[in-house]
Amino acid sequence: MLFKVDMTVKLPADMPAKDAEEIKAREKAYSQRLQSEGIWRHLWRVAGTYSNVSIFDVTDAAHLHELISALPLFPYMAIQVTALCRHPSSIREDDS
């Protein structure tokens, strides 16, 4: 199943820079692993914000929840999830 996930990161203003950099490094490694596995299919930065729009290809909503909950930045995120389905006019064969 495909899901669009909007994520906005809100790190505490008083978080030490060293802690912020460490958690961001763990987040990057985790997200790149999921991208390599084909689970996190697309990842776009939202210009001018500390936000992204992502497309996940997962078994079901529970699988998506498991993956998102494991994000190192999860405690500092506002997340909105939208289920997607194939559009009948799409010319892509891999978007189901």
Residue 12 DSSP code: -
Q: Is residue 93 part of a domain?
A: no
* Residue 96 lies inside a defined structural domain of this protein: no
Q: Residue 79 is encoded by which pair of tokens? A: 């997340």
Domain count across the chain: 1
pLDDT band at 86 (very low <50, low <70, confident <90, very high): confident
Q: 43-49: long-range contacts (C-beta < 8 A, 24 or more apart)? A: 49/8
> pLDDT tens across 45-82, in order?
999 999 999 999 999 999 999 999 999 999 999 999 99
Domain that holds residue 74: 2-84
